[in-house]
A and B are shown apart, each in its own frame.
Chain A
Amino acid sequence: MMTFSPQLEQKFAKMLTSYPEGKKRSAVVPMLIYAQDEVGSITSELIDEVARRCEVTPLQVDEVVGYYSMLHRNPMGKYHVQVCTNISCLLVGGMELYEHACKKLGIGHKQVAADGQFSLEEVECMGACSWAPAVEINYDFHHHVTPEKLDQLIDGLRKAQ
């Protein structure tokens, strides 16, 4: 059995009552993503725990994990840098920005830096098209990002540690 922070336990308790009687399975996806934020990745222990709470088999949770791109079986960095290169970002320098991020962090798509602080992902459209190019670091959006601005963001996070 796993336990989470009191805030998350409270959220999960409410979540499990949000769906109709006998439909706790509905909580699988939200529970996985919120728990991943706290645990760091989708571990087999976490799969078992979500299965137990949602009253489904671990396999029914496992098959969901492979489908959703934000769920990771291996931990990402403390700061997960997501650079969009989809069409709106592409037209205004998104690809160059992604290549710059690869060089700056010394890693590629879905890789984690050796110190575990940063990871990188080339992502699909995340809904910031009119303020492109866009980057999301963990859940924080950054708009009109230039290579210089990205350097500042990353350096700022490094210093903050």
Chain B
Amino acid sequence: MAKKLYNDPSPLETRILSARFGLENSESLTTYLAHDGFKAFRKAREMKPEQIIEEVKTSALRGRGGAGFPTGLKWSFVPRSSPKPKYIVINADESEPGTCKDRLLMEYDPHQMIEGILIAGLALDAHKGYLYIRGEYRYLIDHMDRAIAEAYAQGYLGKNILGTGFDFDLYTHSGAGAYECGEETALLDSLEGKRGIPRMKPPFPAVAGAWASPTLLNNVETFSAIPAIIRDGGAAFAALGTPKNGGTRLLCVSGHVNKPGVYEVPLGYPMLKFIEEIAGGIPGGKKLKAVIPGGSSCPILKADECDIPMDYDSLAKIGSMLGSGGMVVMDETTDMVKVALRIMRFYAHESCGWCIPCREGTTWLRKILQRFDEGGGRHEDVALLGELSKNMLGRTFCALGDAAAMPTISIVDKFADDFEKRLARDRQMVAV
């Protein structure tokens, strides 16, 4: 049966990874095979491993989990000739606030991702993969277990896949509630049965990752893009986007828009056009106030900064990030004190406690913001919030400290008025 999608697609989308979303039984291997499924794998098995990696480099695909690192380059760091076993770990710990796309890629088209994993296996001489899915997505773990069983039953996983002599085993692995486990080295510790705490780098996971073996970690969406790249060529994928920002990506838009949803657009798609035409604009004719472009870890943008193309480099140029594709739109009525507080409550809760600047920093920032929100704000708090945040930057093992600091710095800096208004209101209350 054709599946009712979580949101209606937009005619303005470029549907490459989501091409099969909404098809009848889109999650089944039969549907996948009837719609280009495993053409890329068949092609890849005739290619040399270096050619596969070269094709991924040509595609200008960048990691869709958040950091935006060039995927082909990451693959090339894994020492194929290592005598140790090589592992592939798929990061399905989607937890960045604002992000809900990997859910759809697994729910609607699990075999596309599986094919991408297998192609990576061919390229890196890896024969085992672990799909780390956040515990809250239990229905998807069950769903992926069914898809994996289906692939085994039809010879697309296991021994001698499609008579190629290539073996690959894929397993699901459940998380149990920890944002930090989306960070790749913390994820590896979690996969090894420990608390998810980030590791010192180097060595990078490509050299010593899961169980100290060479490991490739990529996001669900990154693997899901691989079949189209190999099938139609890296150059075709690259051409969809802008230079160094290849292809399309799934953007998750939420907050104050008429049509929140997940939509696939080419890299470089204009942000305002996306908000207006795809996401249906802001309800009630209200004005745009701010946008979090790619998950709550990204520095926030003021309305007058939003007239930009959405690619990694354009956002970096204005001091923010495209991140995980989780775009949060806020209208003119939004109270930025509340926004800053809610974001900091999250990071304080999720800090793993390993690095003191993050553990203490997020807790103090939360306390100051909480006091401010409850009417106990002091004029000097605004500067204090900025100063504390800046002292966290770059002083932690992983990026969670930065992820907490950066939005705070940007909110305090760009929306100081909201904080001043609160102080004025508090003074009035005292006067009355």
Footprint of B on A, CB under 8 Å? 18-20, 23, 25-30, 32-34, 54, 56, 60, 63-64, 67-71, 85-88, 90-92, 124-132, 136, 139-141, 143
Given contacts A92-B256, A129-B98, 9 further A-B contacts (CB under 8 A): A67-B196, A68-B175, A68-B176, A70-B135, A71-B177, A86-B296, A87-B342, A124-B349, A139-B138
Q: Which residue on chain B has the smallest CB distance to residue A140?
A: B139
Interface pick from B186-194, B224-232, B236-244, B384-392: B186-194
Size class of the contact patch on chain B = 35 or more
Q: Shortest distance in angstroms between B101's beta carbon and chain A's nearest beta carbon?
A: 9
B261 adjacent to chain A (CB < 8 Å): yes
Cβ A91 vs Cβ B334 within 8 A: yes
Known pairs A127-B94, A127-B100, A132-B254; A29 contacts B7 (CB<8 A): no
Query: Nearest A residue to B334 by beta-carbon distance?
Result: A91
| Subset of 26 A-B contacts with CB under 8 Å | A18-B173, A20-B85, A25-B192, A25-B194, A26-B173, A30-B173, A30-B176, A33-B174, A60-B193, A68-B135, A71-B176, A87-B98, A91-B328, A91-B334, A124-B350, A125-B95, A125-B296, A127-B99, A129-B97, A129-B328, A130-B254, A130-B260, A131-B260, A132-B260, A136-B136, A140-B139
Measured in the bound complex, the distance between the Cα atoms of B326 and A86 in whole Å is 13
Cβ of B134 < 8 Å from any Cβ of A? yes
Contact B195 A63, beta carbon cutoff 8 Å: yes
- B330 and chain A: residue at smallest CB distance: A91
Docked complex: B1-56 residues within 8 A CB-CB of A: 6-7
- What is the bound-complex CA distance between A36 and B256, given in angstroms? 38
Residues of A within 8 A of B253 (CB): 130
- Distance in Å: Cβ of B362 to nearest Cβ of chain A: 13
Minimum distance in angstroms from B6 CB to a CB of chain A: 5
Q: Which residues of chain A have C-beta atoms less than 8 A from B100's C-beta?
A: 127-131
Chain B residues with CB below 8 A from A92, complex form: 254-256
Q: Which residues of B contact A27 (CB under 8 A)?
A: 193
B192 touches A70 (CB 8 A): no
